[in-house]
Structure 1
């Protein structure tokens, strides 16, 4: 039988992190809100902080080897707002616990000690195992709590003294249950307790597409250059065929194939520029897919197409003139509302027109030209 470390390594390589979509209420509605993440968090509801924590935990899934992560926060969560587990035994096997605290002030030991009692009570009263890691997650952690967690022996001593005190969380426990909790705590390695604050979480979170939507920030990075293949690819076929129709109509019947168009003195250079524009638009599409949550590129396409269809439907002298009119209109559109608007330059606008032609959403030569 493989040991636990081998199983975790195996599962870490097989974990698939789901594309978590932030609830609509978690995303600032004002695109011009430029408050820092910490300033925004102060106005969140506790369930938004739990959602954010769960997103962060799922981003850690591959590195940690988590099989899954879930929110179980509520009145009977037994100190576990978000849980991440390593095996199909879930909370009966090895798991990590994340306790979410959204306070206006820093999270202090006085807040943490009563919460630390809950997993011990759950381990005595239920079939749950103790988590192998229990992390307090708060926007800000008081230095006293950080120092205490960094010295597990001191934390354990402080917790055992807490169990001897007269706090409400302790005195309400039946005597036998309290004794069992003390016995379990004395046998436990308190290095299981950790803290995480917003700054630490953002180190991971800022690399995700969710960062832009959650905190109303522009997407990071730049679209990666996508080289134009020397030979046309299969997924270019339809927009290239439409261009061949334009060139044949404009330059003569001898242009029948894409090779003919490349060889022609006038259409060859034009065709090369259109392919470059098509791939520039593909660069932006892939960038949006990987850097912005949701489908920002498809939304931008929808907004652009509504305007271009009207131009394409007008009467035009030829397919060439229709193509030119549509590309000109695309270049003049205002798209400031899109998360990727700053990357939507003239090459990408022209390329998007050819993407539409590639999907038969726009047609250059409809047979009605005189």
Structure 2
């Protein structure tokens, strides 16, 4: 949320922000939005823009906070043009007196070439717009005249702390040339209903429609490039046990190792399918990385102990991995996606990351 010198009316905490471990599903979504912290509110709008405007934008990212220049969320089109979303979290409908400073920032920062002029500039308020601001949205010429009239009172000393931004002839010309038709809004109820169709909704508001895990990926017949590191370590483990060189070429001559190899490839792809599901739900791999980190913490001391050979380390570590608690992530704690096969597969992903080896 952008910082300004305007007094911000704090919303009373009618209910705590949603914690999926506390099953409070009877609180209306709008009331839940009212309880969001400024950061969570911006995250909520970012989630909505990512999921519901995905066909519209090439990328969506949140930059809210100090120095955002009036842009909490940015949507970028394929041609490089952009939309700005300014998130306003007041305890009542947004009135013009609360809006002038944000509009002033758009005008000043585009005039100063700190930010490019957007294709669209959206004000997204928890309680939508009050009647006076709705009227101005329908009459952009009146909005421009009103901004110029209110500049000295609402913008001049409030855009940048410690600076006076007066209406110089050049700035005035820029504002007059700026097409105020780019300024719009989205109703909060519409945003909530569109957000309801996304996987994010469960984590923000609760409910019983949990996201579903994607299909399990079967290993391709020929190993792919992203398998080379962990496969090489598997072969090293077999060679260390056999005291002879085991390669892909002669692996089938060793039935025990061959079956173990096939099992471990299935484990790797089980974890890979989990990674892709996480990316689809959360739009990033942060939770998969969290699972890997937690797995590494859980087994790093174990793999330092003594073993007969690399194959012994592999077999015993696979078993040990199934005991590691991964409930630090909602992927395991809430969605119950993580299987023992995934846990074993996470070990191979850690080998790929060069965090551990079977043969030292």
Shift of 1:289: 1.9
> Which structure is higher in helix share?
1
Shift of 1:365: 2.1
For 1:258, what is the secondary structure of its paired residue? coil
Q: 1:257 aligns with which of 217, 233, 247?
A: 247
CA contact (8 A) 2:309 2:359 kept: yes
CA contact (8 A) 1:31 1:216 kept: yes
What's the counterpart of residue 307 of structure 1?
298
Structure 1 CA distance for aligned equivalents of residues 327 and 117 of structure 2: 51
Shift of 1:356: 1.8
Deviates more, 1:270-279 or 1:46-55: 46-55
Number of aligned residue pairs:
268
Structure 1 CA distance for aligned equivalents of residues 122 and 36 of structure 2: 22
Structure 1 CA distance for aligned equivalents of residues 38 and 355 of structure 2: 45
CA contact (8 A) 2:230 2:352 kept: yes
1:136-151 to structure 2, matched below 5 A, reads: 137-139=187-189
Shift of 1:71: 3.4
C-alpha change, 1:53 and 1:269, in structure 2 (3 Å) is closer
1:203-222 to structure 2, matched below 5 A, reads: 203=196, 206-207=197-198, 210-211=200-201, 213-215=203-205, 220-222=211-213
Structure 2's unaligned 5+ residue stretches are 1-15, 58-76, 89-96, 147-174
Shift of 1:80: 7.7
What's the counterpart of residue 125 of structure 2?
100
Structure 2 CA distance for aligned equivalents of residues 197 and 117 of structure 1: 21
Shift of 1:348: 0.8
Structure 1 CA distance for aligned equivalents of residues 55 and 266 of structure 2: 38
Q: 1:244 aligns with which of 235, 248, 257?
A: 235
1:133-212 to structure 2, matched below 5 A, reads: 134-135=184-185, 137-139=187-189, 196=190, 198=192, 200-203=193-196, 206-207=197-198, 210-211=200-201
Structure 1's unaligned 5+ residue stretches are 1-26, 140-195
What's the counterpart of residue 122 of structure 1?
143
CA contact (8 A) 2:18 2:205 kept: no
1:218-367 to structure 2, matched below 5 A, reads: 220-253=211-244, 255-292=245-282, 295-341=286-332, 342-366=336-360
For 1:70, what is the secondary structure of its paired residue? strand
Larger radius of gyration: 1
Deviates more, 1:312-321 or 1:48-57: 48-57
CA contact (8 A) 1:98 1:136 kept: yes
Q: Deviations over 1:281-317 (max 9, x none)?
A: 1111121122125500101111110121111100112
For 1:243, what is the secondary structure of its paired residue? helix
CA contact (8 A) 1:79 1:118 kept: no
CA contact (8 A) 2:85 2:122 kept: no
Supply the RMSD in Å over aligned alpha carbons. 3.7
Q: Deviations over 1:81-111 (max 9, x none)?
A: 9xx9xxx999988646445243xxxx7xxx7
Q: Deviations over 1:20-49 (max 9, x none)?
A: xxxxxxx94734133343442232357855
